[in-house]
A = this chain, B = another copy of it.
Amino acid sequence: MIVKNIKPMNLEIIDIEKLDQMEGKEISIKGAIHRLRILPNVTFCILRLERTLIQVVAEQQYDLSAFLEGDFVEVTGLVRASKLNDKAILNKNYEISLTKINLIHRPKEVPPFEINKKELNIKPDLEFDMRQISLRHPKKRAIFKISETIANSFASFLETNNFTRIFSPKIVFAGAEGGANIFKIQYFDRVAYLAQSPQFYKQYGVGIFGKVYDIGPVFRAEKHNTTRHVNEYISLDFEMGFISSFEDIMALETAYLKFMIEQLKEKNNFELELLEITLPEITDSIPSIKLKEAHEIFFKIQKIDYRNEPDLSPDEEKFLTQWSKKEYNSEFLFVTHFPTNKRPFYTMDDPSNPGETLSFDLLFRGLEITTGGQRIHDYDMQYNKLISFGMNPEDFESFLTLHKYGVPPHGGLAIGLERLTARICNIENIKEASMYPRDINRITP
């Protein structure tokens, strides 16, 4: 009998940012041939690595005419100084002088568009139809290295603050957000739903762990196909108990955003330069105004009257962050106290003004990226609010179980990862910040 021993493997990783420490040394790297330019005396071969491009130079004695763009190869060569100005290349001060090249695998066909141009510049339909290939473009994939840091810094910030990670179920018996925008599932012999949010489970989590966070997909069956919506997105959610005010939630989000921006500076310098991103700054605080005041400001300056509207309009969202940038040097703006009838049934009303809720949105660069607030923790209050919303408390027996057996005062928020990523990257259409966007017309690839 043959028993093999599988020993733990540590990956050998060549840190491309530290090529200076390897000058004159021979290294081997694997990647795809991104660009190949064969000149009479020299061949320039730009390799596409996991995150960056690197320049390989083959002198006359090396014949690369048998290679094609798209080939997966292993290149061996000497690290030497250079001076390159392609932002997609890292490290720009070094290149590889080729000594050997092996073909690992050749694709069957050449894609119907060029992923090696500075900009992809193809029609959105083609870009999304072939997303599994178009994301190989350096500028496209860079968006998701930004998105990764946003998500991972959410997790590490909350972990440091003693939050517990939960995994809320996505197959649910009822929607947390109400309304018709919920997907139905055939669940064996019955109907179930896809979770619109982890709301109930976060609130349960407060009773179990005190402070919880959840990073996962949520689903909204919204029929409108806009640049601000996708039907499946990643929600960065947290919920915390024993708050003294709903402003605690806003203050914690402010701290997270500061941390996230620092993490982007630390980890994503390459992508920030490639995508020419100017990060927002939070010097001291984020300004916060009530919805009513937001409407007033818009009316006063823009002369358009939304003062009786229960929510912000898209043009107000755009205007208001320009206003806060100008007046308070903040690209972020909290808007608070949305009316009771515009916020979900679990939202706490303001005791000093019951027509308004202890809730907030966070606007950033013209878009709402967060919804949050204090939740109802008292059983009678929650029961009565369901009634006043015309809902049947019996349908929410499972949810009310929480309030019946007790939960401390609590609140939380949800950040849309794609929305935040899009605004950080100054992308207009949030679908570009979703790896495989789902909308009313698209569920492929």
Residues of A within 8 A of B (CB): 1-11, 13, 30, 32, 49-51, 70-72, 104-111, 130-133, 135-136, 141, 144-145, 148, 151-152, 155, 159, 161-162, 164-173, 183-188, 192, 194, 200-201, 204, 207-211, 216-217, 219, 221, 223, 231-232, 234, 241-242, 247-248, 250-252, 254-255, 258, 282, 284-290, 293, 296-297, 328, 334, 377-380, 398-399, 401-409, 417, 435-436, 438, 440, 443-445
Contacts and interface: CB of A to CB of B under 8 A. Distances in A.
7 contacts: A3-B287, A4-B247, A9-B248, A11-B161, A32-B408, A132-B204, A185-B185
A209 B141 contact: yes
Nearest to A108: B379
Contact of A403 (B108, B285, B378, B445): B108
A380 to B, nearest CB: 7
Contact of A164 (B106, B145, B251, B403): B145
A192 B13 CA distance: 40
B401 A445 contact: yes
Given A171-B443, A232-B169, A242-B104, A8 B436 contact: no
B443 A2 contact: no
A169 B443 CA distance: 9
B5 A284 contact: yes
A422 to B, nearest CB: 14
Return the 7 tightest CB-CB contacts between A and B, nearest first: A107-B406, A9-B251, A50-B210, A8-B255, A132-B204, A5-B285, A108-B379
A208 to B, nearest CB: 5
A302 to B, nearest CB: 16
Given A132-B398, A133-B401, A183-B187, A152 B159 contact: yes
Given A109-B404, A135-B204, A152-B159, 7 more contacts: A30-B408, A51-B209, A132-B204, A132-B208, A167-B217, A188-B223, A398-B444
A389 B53 CA distance: 39
Contacts of A132: 204, 207-208, 398, 401-402
A89 to B, nearest CB: 17
A426 to B, nearest CB: 21
Contacts of A11: 161-162, 252
B51 A5 contact: no
A228 B171 CA distance: 19
B148 A405 contact: no
A255 B217 contact: no
Given A183-B186, A247-B6, A405-B108, A167 B234 contact: yes
A172 B443 contact: yes
Q: How many copies of this protein are present in the complex?
A: 2
A350 to B, nearest CB: 14
B13 A162 contact: yes
B187 A186 contact: no
A6 B108 contact: no
Contacts of A159: 152
A92 to B, nearest CB: 20
A183 B183 contact: no
Contacts of A148: 164-165
Contacts of A289: 1-4
B404 A207 contact: no
Contacts of A166: 144, 435
A251 B8 contact: yes
Nearest to A362: B6
A334 B6 contact: yes
B171 A2 contact: no
Contacts of A407: 72, 105, 107
Given A168-B436, A255-B9, A435-B167, A4 B287 contact: yes
